[in-house]
A and B are shown apart, each in its own frame.
Chain A
Amino acid sequence: MSITDSDTPYADSELVLDVLQVGPAVVVRIAGSAGMREAEQMRAALEKLADDKPPLIVLDLSSMEFICSMGLGAIIQSHLRSRHHNGQVRLVNPQPAVLDLLETTRLNKLFQIYPSVEQAVRT
């Protein structure tokens, strides 16, 4: 699955979601910027994945360059949707600026953050 905004002249506005199945887990590699314009698309995509009721959704944030509060809201929505069927959302390897944002908002208390996809899936 890919969501792109490649028509815009701003390379940093592109958001790409790559989804793969790793055992029972769904791993989503989120690359680019989850800003105010992309957040709604991301929310819809993550909720759709959660509706398939996987036991675990792993969001690989290692290539995410930016996220705003609306993007954070999209991740929280997927967490709420997943928990509805006893599923879980885990985060992987956010870049320093995104990690700082997660800590500032205290969302690092809500989500478990792992250093690698392998560890997030295996644990």
Chain B
Amino acid sequence: MVIASDLEAARQVENTILDEVERYGYSDASAFSIRLAIEEGLNNAIKHGNGYDPNKTVQVAFAVTPQQVVISITDEGPGFDPARVPDPTCDENLEKPCGRGIMLMRAYMDEIHYNPCGNQVRMVKKNS
């Protein structure tokens, strides 16, 4: 699925995935986690990766099964090194309004991997 770099398109993808999650009977807690990870991943792609550029798109691939949800989000940006993102839970960063997206994806999904370039994130949530 390829979407424009805007939040309405992101919301439609999110709802498509969450409809599948609901259909397979994932718990409310899992659905919350998956929604959170989708929002963080798509926001990062649209805002930081593509810079809201209407000429750039975001690729979203997903597979929802009774066992797990796999979501891959790819933007057209130059990528980044996720290891260099400051820890938002450090005392000196608590008052920063931004910078929590990657940490939340890591905390709420079972797996999260970036490609070497850093413009694609792949996330997995098991159905527990």
| Chain A residues with a Cβ under 8 A of chain B | 8, 10, 13, 35-37, 66, 68-70, 72-74, 76-77, 79-80, 97, 101, 104-107, 109-110
Q: Could you give 8 example pairs across A and B, Cβ below 8 Å?
A: A35-B11, A68-B39, A69-B100, A69-B104, A97-B29, A101-B36, A104-B108, A105-B100
Could you tell me if B100 and A72 are in contact, using CB atoms closer than 8 angstroms? yes
What distance in Å separates the Cβ of A78 from its nearest Cβ neighbour in chain B?
10
Binds A, one of B65-73, B74-82, B88-96: B88-96
Residues in B with CB closer than 8 Å to A8 are: 11
User: Is B35 positioned at the interface, with any CB of A under 8 Å from its CB?
Assistant: yes
Q: Is the interface of B mostly helix, strand, loop or mixed?
A: helix
Q: Complex formed: what's the CA distance from A70 to B8 in Å?
A: 15
Q: Complex formed: what's the CA distance from A72 to B101 in Å?
A: 11
Taking A68-B43, A77-B97, A101-B36 as known contacts, 15 extra A-B pairs with beta carbons closer than 8 A to each other, sorted by chain A number, are A10-B11, A13-B11, A35-B35, A36-B7, A37-B10, A66-B36, A68-B39, A69-B100, A72-B97, A76-B95, A97-B28, A97-B32, A104-B108, A105-B104, A110-B95
Q: A13-B11, A105-B104 given as contacts; is B98 within 8 A of A73 (CB)?
A: yes
Q: A69-B100, A107-B94, A110-B94 given as contacts; is B89 within 8 A of A36 (CB)?
A: no
